[in-house]
Amino acid sequence: MVTFPAREPWAAPESLDELGRELATRLGGTPAAGIVAACLTNSWTTAMSWAATAPGEPPEVFVRTGDIPAMWLRDSTAQMRPYLAVAAADPGVADVLAAVSRRQSRYVQLDPYANAFNASADSAHGERHDRPTPGPWVWERKYELDSLSAPLQLAYALWRATGRVDHLVDHTVDSTFRQAAWTIVRLWRTEQAHENSPYTFVRPRGPFRGDSLARRGRGDAVARTGLTWSGFRPSDDRCAHGYLTSANALASTSLHGLAELATKVLADTELAEEALALAAEIDGGLLAHAVVEHAGSRVLAYEVDGLGAALLGDDANLPSLLSLPLSGWCTTADPLYLATRALVLSDANPWYYSGSHASGIGSPHTAKRHVWPLALATAGLTGSGQDAVAALETLARTTAGTGLMHESFHVNDPSRFTRPWFGWANAAFSELAMEVSGSGGVRHLFPTHPRALPHAGS
């Protein structure tokens, strides 16, 4: 039985308020103690609403990213991550997470190439001149490989956290989630041979017309490698090359999680076999084409094209190379990861900045010398305990008095920031606070790649 929040905007459930108080107590005496509760509940109290569905259909929840009135598949999964910490003990929270998962599956079926969606079919678009014209449900149709991993990740994590399956096997003969999963797998197969893909993206007008893909929207040429193509990065900026390493790694891990769901819940042996076969091809492509030499070490390139081009560096947006252990693809002790981490947290990364208030990774999506709280939190979550404590303190001291995270801020002046309302960053801060406080995290609920298991080699 679904437990509906009393009103919209929603009040935080007692379980989240209690978790916020617990975190504040555990972090007492640190700058983070005074802001963690607000960051934790930010998306719940400001960004979520029940979505309209047909009579008799199970409920769905729309999650706006913050100051943009659209729901990103990637962002909405990230915004829900901290709430998984209480989902097992609070059926009302689990009901809401299941409703978010259902909404994601519906969106995948509406347009698997879209990255962001509207709350209703109102034809609102981020840029009205995009070609081809997005459908009425679509805010933006930038194809981002990681976006399609997001619904698989949330669906798996909710099952692991609670054991519930109503978001996976619903009242229909062929569940919405199963249909969405097959759509994702088949699309990733199509994009292994991108030259045969139906997808194009052209933005002929507006301040971001540079987002148009080359060759009349098809993108620069790539060779077939086993990797699957992405037109855009998690930042929504276009890829310089077609194969985004971190997104392929997340896709592979997500496919392993899907295979487990297909076997244990969906009873779909064909889907499980296809997911594992595709993951193996992606992994083969990563190790054969994305591993390059740099300063005497083997590291992962940020993007490659299979034709010899490689981009070294890392963007703040997740999935990133820095976040590979959070993606479940490797451990923090993996030598390949450690060498890559050293590269991306140095001046060898064109988007790494250091200043008087912070040092970390930024993005070409924002101004130079702006670092992203997402990347600072990720560095803490994937580093040592000391790294995590330092990252949490830096984030808490650089809110410019707002008490919430931002998209980015200037390394020498935190009052120069972008996006005052950004749910994803608040969720990342909350997850870091959970781990620093010792109250537990949620990363163990997400799929793990076999190479990241204790018995696996590096």
Sign of the Cα torsion 150, 156, 157, 163 reads: positive
Helix (H, G, I), strand (E, B) or coil at 19: helix
Token pair 């459930």 in the structure block, residue? 13
Q: Please indicate, yes or no, if residue 232 is contained in any of the structural domains.
A: yes
Distance from C-alpha of 192 to C-alpha of 243, rounded to nearest angstrom? 10
Query: Cβ contacts of residue 126 below 8 Å, gap of 6+?
Result: 68, 70, 116, 139, 140
Tell me, yes or no, whether 448 lies in a domain.
no
* pLDDT tens, per residue, the chain with 458 residues: 445 554 566 899 999 999 999 999 999 999 999 999 999 999 999 999 999 888 888 999 999 999 999 999 999 999 999 999 999 999 999 999 999 999 999 999 999 999 999 999 999 999 999 999 999 999 999 999 999 999 999 999 999 999 999 999 976 657 899 999 999 999 999 999 999 999 999 999 988 888 999 999 999 999 999 999 999 999 999 999 999 999 999 999 999 999 999 999 999 999 999 999 999 999 999 999 999 999 999 999 999 999 999 999 999 999 999 999 999 999 999 999 999 999 999 999 999 999 999 999 999 999 999 999 999 999 999 999 999 999 999 999 999 999 999 999 999 999 999 999 999 999 999 999 999 999 889 999 999 999 998 766 54
Q: Which helix H or strand E contains 75, and what residues bound it?
A: helix 73-80
- What does the alpha-carbon distance between residue 425 and residue 373 come to, in Å, rounded to a whole number? 6
Query: What is the phi/psi pair of residue 452, to 5°?
Result: -100, 0
What number of residues does the chain have? 458
CATH number of the domain to which 143 belongs: 1.50.10.10
- Does 429 reside within a domain? yes
Q: What is the rounded CA–CA span in Å between residue 302 and residue 76? A: 24
Q: For residue 256, what is the enclosing H or E element?
A: helix 245-261
Helix (H, G, I), strand (E, B) or coil at 298: strand
Compute how many other C-beta atoms are within 10 angstroms of the C-beta atom of residue 458: 12
DSSP string covering 40-53: HHHHHHHTEEEEP-
Q: Are 428 and 377 in contact (CB under 8 A)?
A: yes
Distance, in Å, from the CA atom of 424 to the CA atom of 415, rounded to the nearest integer, reads 20
Q: Does residue 332 form part of some domain?
A: yes
> What does the alpha-carbon distance between residue 191 and residue 243 come to, in Å, rounded to a whole number?
10
Does residue 453 belong to any structural domain of this protein? Answer: no
Cα–Cα separations (whole angstroms), residue 435 to 85, 153, 386, 429: 11, 20, 12, 10
pTM of the entire structure? Answer: 0.96
CA dihedral (250, 256, 260, 262) positive or negative: positive
Q: Can you tell me the distance from the alpha carbon of 248 to that of 250, in angstroms, rounded to the nearest whole number?
A: 5
CB 143 within 8 A of CB 113: yes
Structurally, the chain folds into a number of domains equal to: 1
Asked whether residue 322 is assigned to any structural domain, the reply reads: yes
Residue 269 belongs to a domain: yes
Round to whole Å and give the CA distance between 332 and 318.
16
d(CA 340, CA 353): 17
CA distance between the termini of the chain: 45
Q: Which domain covers residue 26, as residue numbers?
A: 14-441
Phi first, then psi: give them for residue 26, nearest 5 degrees: -65, -30
In a domain, 451, yes or no: no
Confidence (pLDDT) at 2 = 46
Quote the Cα angle for 384-389-391, to 5°.
Answer: 90
Query: For residues 216 and 202, is the Cβ–Cβ distance under 8 A?
Result: yes
Which residues, other chains included, contact 45 with Cβ-Cβ below 8 Å and sequence gap of 6+? 9, 10, 11, 12
Number of CB atoms found within 10 A of residue 165's CB: 18
